[in-house]
Amino acid sequence: MNRAIAVLCSILISFAGCSGLHPSRSVYEYKINLNEIDNDELFVELAFRGHLSDPSYFCLPKIVPGVYDALDYGKFVSGLNAFDARGHALSVDRLDTNCWVVKGARRSITIEYKVSDGWESFDFQDIRPYRSSESHFDDAVYILNANSIFGYFLQREHLPFRISVMKPEGFHGATSLTKTKSTRSEDQYIAPNYRTLVDSPIMYAPPDTVTLKLPGIAVNVAAYSTSGKKIANELAQHIAPLVKNQVEYLGGKLATDKYTFIIYHSENLEDERYFADGLEHNQSALVLLHAPLDMEVLRRNVFNLVSHEFFHTLIPLGLHSHEIASFDFNNPSFSKHLWLYEGMTEYFTIHMPVKQRMVTLEEFFRVVESKIAGMRKFTNSVSFTELSRNVLSMPDEYMNVYYKGALINLCLDIELRRLSNGAYGVQDLVSDLMKKYGKDKPFNDDDLFDDIYEITGYPEVRAFIERHVEGTHELPLREKLQQVGLSLDMETGRVSETEPTSEAQRRLRKHWINH
Full 3-state SS string of 49-96: EEECCCCEEEECCCCCCCCCCCCCHHHHEEEEEEECCCCCECEEEECC
Q: What CATH number is given to the structural domain containing 264?
A: 1.10.390.10
Closest by Cα among 69, 107, 113, 110 to 94:
113
| Domain membership flag for residue 197 | yes
Residues 272 and 383 in one domain: no
| Domain membership flag for residue 13 | yes
- Beta-ladder partners of 451: none
Indicate whether 1 pLDDT > 50: no
Element (H, E) at 136: strand 136-137
Final residue belonging to a domain, choices 203, 231, 249: 203
486 phi/psi in degrees, rounded to 5: -120, 145
For every residue of 243-271, DSSP letters joined together read HHHHHHHTTT--S-SEEEEEEEEEE--SS
CB 301 within 8 A of CB 231: no
Residues 388 and 485 in one domain: yes
Dist. CA 222–CA 202, nearest whole Å: 10
Residues 112 and 58 in one domain: yes
Indicate whether 170 pLDDT > 60: yes
Residue 207 pLDDT level (bands cut at 50, 70, 90): very high
Q: What is the pLDDT of residue 19?
A: 35
Residues 178 and 243 in one domain: no
Residues 177 and 244 in one domain: no
| Average pLDDT for 349-353 | 95
Residues 327 and 271 in one domain: no
Q: Average pLDDT over the chain, rounded to whole?
A: 91
| Domain membership flag for residue 456 | yes
Indicate whether 69 pLDDT > 80: yes
Total number of domains in the chain: 3
What is the CB neighbour count within 10 angstroms for residue 4? 11
Domain membership of residue 458 as a residue range: 322-513
Kindly report the CA angle at 442 between 438 and 447, in degrees rounded to 5? 110
CB 234 within 8 A of CB 295: yes
Residues 401 and 290 in one domain: no
Closest by Cα among 61, 66, 88 to 76:
61
Residues 296 and 326 in one domain: no
Q: What is the pLDDT of residue 12?
A: 32
| Domain membership flag for residue 317 | no
pTM of the model: 0.88
Dist. CA 350–CA 340, nearest whole Å: 15
CB 371 within 8 A of CB 272: no
**Bridging pattern class, strands 258-267 and 284-291:** parallel
Indicate whether 24 pLDDT > 60: no
| Average pLDDT for 76-105 | 96
| Average pLDDT for 266-289 | 91
Q: What is the pLDDT of residue 15?
A: 35
Q: What is the pLDDT of residue 332?
A: 85
| Domain membership flag for residue 132 | no
| Domain membership flag for residue 136 | no
Q: What is the pLDDT of residue 108?
A: 86
| Average pLDDT for 135-164 | 96
Query: pLDDT digits over 230-253, tens only?
Result: 999 999 998 899 888 988 898 877
Final residue belonging to a domain, choices 311, 342, 372: 311
Residues 482 and 373 in one domain: yes
**Bridging pattern class, strands 202-205 and 142-144:** antiparallel
Residue 450 pLDDT level (bands cut at 50, 70, 90): very high
Residue 202 pLDDT level (bands cut at 50, 70, 90): very high
Residues 50 and 150 in one domain: yes
Q: What CATH number is given to the structural domain containing 66?
A: 2.60.40.3650
Residues 368 and 250 in one domain: no
Residues 265 and 407 in one domain: no
Distances (CA, A) of 2 to 151, 160, 195, 437, 515: 18, 12, 8, 15, 38
